[in-house]
Amino acid sequence: MLSAAANPAARFSPQSRVAVLLPLPLGGAYDYRVGAEPVGVGEFVTVPLGKREVIGVVWGEGAGDTDSARLKTIHQRLDCPPLPEVTRKFVDWVAAYTLSMPGLVLKMAMSVPQALEPARALMACRLAPTRPDIKLTDARRRVLETAATLPPLPPADLAREAGVGPAVVKGLLEAGALESVAIKRPPIFEDPDLARPAPTLSDGQRQAADALVTALDKGFSVAVIDGVTGSGKTEVYFEAVAAAVAQGRQILVLLPEIALSAQWLSRFRTRFGVEPAEWHSELSDAKRRETWRAVASGEAKVIVGARSALFLPYPALGLIVVDEEHDGAFKQEDGVSYHARDMAVVRASLGKIPVALASATPSLETLANIQAGRYQRLHLPDRHAGASMPDIVPVDLRRHPPPRGTWLSPVLVTALEDTFAAGEQAMLFLNRRGYAPLTLCRKCGFRLQCPHCTAWLVEHRMAGKLMCHHCGFSTRPPEKCPECEAEDSFAACGPGVERIAEEAAHRFPGARIALMASDTITGPHAAAEFVRQVADHEIDLLIGTQIVAKGYHFPMLTLVGVVDSDLGLEGGDLRAAERTHQLLSQVAGRAGRAERPGRVLLQTYQPDHPVMQALVSGDRDAFIANEADQRREAGMPPYGRLAALVVSGPEPGPLDDFARRLARAAPRSAEFQVLGPAPAPLALLRGRHRRRFLVKAARSVNLHAALREWLSKVVPQGGIRVQVDVDPYSFF
Ligand code: ADP
Ligand code: ZN
């Protein structure tokens, strides 16, 4: 089954001409001549490029546009599984859709070139056929006896089995009493244990799980597990994971923040008795290499990963799950900009397999697809084990303002005190890292700004730094105002989570308080330890940014306070209301997940805003219907299409010239509107000046063809770059 994905037909004989795609920013595949050894489509090869040698993939027949005399010859075919046909199709598809160079997409699919080198054999030792004449100590005798009864073992393992130090084994090897042999590496990822007891599903869960299982092996389909927070969506799709494993298929589960999903991993272990293969940016090089190989060989059955896991070379993928499908972290903005949820659907369709999208607040795009009958909805309206949904109430900050210089209203303070008194846990949520988002001089009003970006510097008091959240610039707080030279004149404006933690520590001296933000929790181990502390009730009050909102299940957590519910509503972003609703629903969903009922207090200046009303009433569908109406009227996604163009350059003058030329070349019609150029809200980012265009197109227009044609007319020069973002999610 594993080799079925490779195309056995397409082999190219010596001297023939083939196209080789290189993982580089080039226009397309280059032609090469096949050397003495035939090559197959999808195989990895090394080829000369200028003076270098690079690894590429045989992409198909040569295009024939290089004259034969100048054709270079493939150096070598690498001894590793070929890139599956479906992965190659996926690379082409993503490149076309995102208007990216295919080589850059291929680069994502071969992100670990070292994995293409043959794995080094594992050295083990066994008894030599004849024993040389050596002095036998007790330790040596034990090693020889152990070696006689066990299969060949690596020296360290043999020493451990025999209960001796490694030097003893080494000595016996040198003396010739033991000899080295190469053995096959043991598998790194064990198969999930399907015999372990699964939880008994509720009727609703069972129906949803059955629908997912039935869809396996029936080609492409999209199911949406639309279930309230705590409804047990994970248990539902675990059933489908188990069934797909039983069929010998691989399963990909995409999570928005895999490095922090310690609870998910421990649930997987409980259910299947093994570790899944993880794929995210924090893997070590060695782990990355062996994981890539284990995926390519089919050894790794379940892969849980961040968006980049979509580009791994699965030979036998049978199911994709996208958990928290609405999450903005699935959108990649740098380099090739793509939405992993949408590309997961594409990947499933190319691979003719089902995909399941799970969320308590599916995106408007996904809901529209359900309405149009393209996606199947699996509804879980109730929490597991009869837990009730939390009670959500707004706290009107105009009527219950916090005392000057503080951020927690008396209503929220009282609720927190009650919670601690009852021996329960609480969480305060504020989606802003650091201590204060703005620092200004009290004397002259000067604001500390990033030298490379149009952005204020954020004070991180714990780290003793001012930081730019866009480019990472950081500096010590200056002693004097750079403008008026006043000393000790700086005032912190507004709160970040550090400041809330300071206020809480002051207010609730008896409470055990912990802060969780992406800069205070570094890496999976810290996150796991943190989660354990909360779960074991070593913490009374958890304060955090959106990373605390993600999927956690803390039975004793009964109160959630949202410090600034209005935060995400600022700005003209088309999804601001939808996104705020999703985020706050998810935060609220942390409260009261077990026996004790939960309560959520939303501090807001706009208690009548549709988002607050929807959260309070729990009527998500009416809210979404209203949002959808507005988007339909405005011709916005998913009813119309958007593409964003950011042009950037080192100097503003030439950049503006270029932007004007681009604007003049733009095709314009009622169905294809080009807005801009306008200075981007972040007019300066990482030292580059930026101008934006927004393209608004009707569904009837071939957006890609029009964009391609337009962009081919004006060629950027002098360090100017054009970045295209089809289906943009951010507008800075
Ligand atoms: P969701 O992802 O929908 O918010 P979870 O999958 O996290 O919900 O489930 C919430 C809690 O309920 C978890 O602790 C989970 O283990 C538990 N749970 C869900 N379904 C069952 C079941 N059928 N039997 C036992 N426990 C369950
Ligand atoms: Zn900056």
Q: Which CATH number fits domain 641-726: 3.90.79.10, 3.30.70.600, 3.40.50.2300, 3.40.109.10?
A: 3.30.70.600
* From 253, 384, 388, 553, mutation site for ligand 1 pocket: most ligand atoms within 8 A of C-beta: 384
The whole-number pLDDT of residue 307 equals 94
> What pLDDT, in 10s, does the model give residues 412-463?
999 999 999 999 999 999 999 999 999 999 999 999 999 999 899 999 999 9
H or E, element range at 244: helix 233-246
pLDDT tens figures, 416-428: 999 999 999 999 9
**Residue 691 CA, ligand 2 centroid: distance in Å:** 17
The closest-lying atom of ligand 1 relative to the alpha carbon of residue 202 is 23
Specify the pLDDT at position 4. 38
- Indicate the pTM of the whole model: 0.89
Instruction: Decide if 251 contacts 245 (C-beta within 8 A).
Output: yes
Cβ 476 vs Cβ 464: under 8 Å: yes
Q: Which one is the CATH code of 11-110: 3.40.50.20, 3.40.50.300, 3.40.1440.60, 3.40.190.10?
A: 3.40.1440.60
What's the pLDDT at 3? 38
507-538 pLDDT tens trace: 999 999 999 887 777 777 787 888 889 999 99
pLDDT digits (tens, 9 = 90+) for 523-582: 777 878 888 899 999 999 999 998 887 768 888 999 999 999 999 998 778 899 999 999
Which band of pLDDT confidence, cut at 50, 70 and 90, is reported for residue 259?
low
Average pLDDT (271-298) is 93
The CA distance from 694 to 666, in Å, is 11
Say how far apart CA 227 and CA 344 lie, in whole Å: 20
Residue closest by Cα to atom 23 of ligand 1: 201
According to CATH, the superfamily of the domain at 203-385 is P-loop containing nucleotide triphosphate hydrolases (3.40.50.300)
Domain boundaries, the chain: 11-110, 122-183, 203-385, 387-432+495-628, 437-491, 641-726
The three-state DSSP-derived secondary structure of 581-636 is HHHHHHHHCCCCCCCCCCEEEEEECCCCCHHHHHHHHCCHHHHHHHHHHHHHHHCC
| Ligand 1 pocket by Cβ (under 6 Å) | 199-202, 205, 227, 229-235, 384, 553
- CATH code for the structural domain at 387-432+495-628: 3.40.50.300
Beta bridge partners of 425: 557
What is the C-alpha separation between 372 and 504, in angstroms, rounded? 48
Ligand nearest to the CA of 585: 1
Q: How far is the CA of 335 from the centre of ligand 1 (A)?
A: 37
Q: Is residue 386 very low, low, confident or very high in pLDDT (cuts 50, 70, 90)? A: confident
How many angstroms separate the alpha carbon of residue 232 from the centre of ligand 1? Answer: 4
Across 261-291, b (16+ Cβ under 10 Å) vs e yields bbbbbeebeebbebebbbbbeebeeeebbbb
Q: Which of 580, 579, 534 is nearest to 558 (CA)?
A: 534
Ligand 1 pocket test, pick from 203, 235, 357, 359 with the greatest ligand atom count within 8 Å of Cβ, gives: 235
Rounded mean pLDDT, 243-248: 97
Same-fold call for 11-110 versus 641-726? no
